[in-house]
Amino acid sequence: MMDAVTVRANRRLFAKLLVIACGMFGFGFALVPFYEKICEVTGIRNVFKPDALPANTQIDTARTVTIEFDSNTHGLAWTFKPVQRSVQIHPGALTTVTYEVRNPLDRPITGQAVPSYGPRAAAQHFKKMECFCFQQQTLAPGEVRRLPVVFVVDPGLPQDLHTITLSYTFFEVAGRGGRADLGRPAGKRS
């Protein structure tokens, strides 16, 4: 049997371990806003906010650039595609294109789109004013939605770039409707 001194020592040790565990847990939560602030200051993760208009908004009518559109989903049962595969634009001209997304499952799902550009050098000249990628999209069962993208290609785009590919990949947002592969297509209920 343990004596009273050992019991008190064990209780103190347990209390210290509990305080340390709570402190580590709190520190983990405190890192999230710290990480977001670092990303905001360094500009690492700024794909979810609108870009500022380019300084020179003059339209360069002397050249034409082809913008191709691509769409993908990753671990998400949605169908997602651009309404048109490509457009011809003049750098500096405000352009609007549309993507179409459909949730074929029998439950709502929330997704987040992440853009990418090809070639990579074009990314700094591609300015989005409005984009569905700035916020999460929640689609009801069977819902079809048209999502606009409003953009300007900066006239400072290098002269040797004639084609830009804008690609979006939709990912399911964790904790918002479960796994995409667990649902049944809408209309196919048993």
Instruction: Dump pLDDT digits (tens) for 3-28.
Output: 888 888 888 988 999 999 888 888 87
Residues 168 and 93 in one domain: yes
Structure tokens at 155: 């006239």
Task: Give the torsion sign (CA, 114, 120, 123, 124).
Answer: positive
Residues 72 and 41 in one domain: no
Residues 17 and 88 in one domain: no
Residue 55 lies in a domain: no
* Strands of the sheet with 65-74, listed across from one edge: 86-89, 65-74, 163-172, 109-118, 137-139
Residue 110 lies in a domain: yes
- How far apart CA 7 and CA 15 sit, in angstroms, is 12
**Cα–Cα–Cα angle for 94, 95, 97, nearest 5°?**
160
Q: Is 53 in contact with 114 (CB distance < 8 Å)? A: no
- How far apart CA 190 and CA 187 sit, in angstroms, is 9
Residues 36 and 83 in one domain: no
Residues 76 and 41 in one domain: no
Task: Give the torsion sign (CA, 90, 115, 147, 49).
Answer: negative
Each residue of 102-151: pLDDT tens digit? 999 999 999 999 999 999 989 999 999 999 999 999 999 999 999 999 99
Residues 9 and 95 in one domain: no
* Full domain range(s) for residue 38: 1-46
Whether the pLDDT of residue 188 is over 50: the answer is: no
How many distinct structural domains can be found in the chain? 2
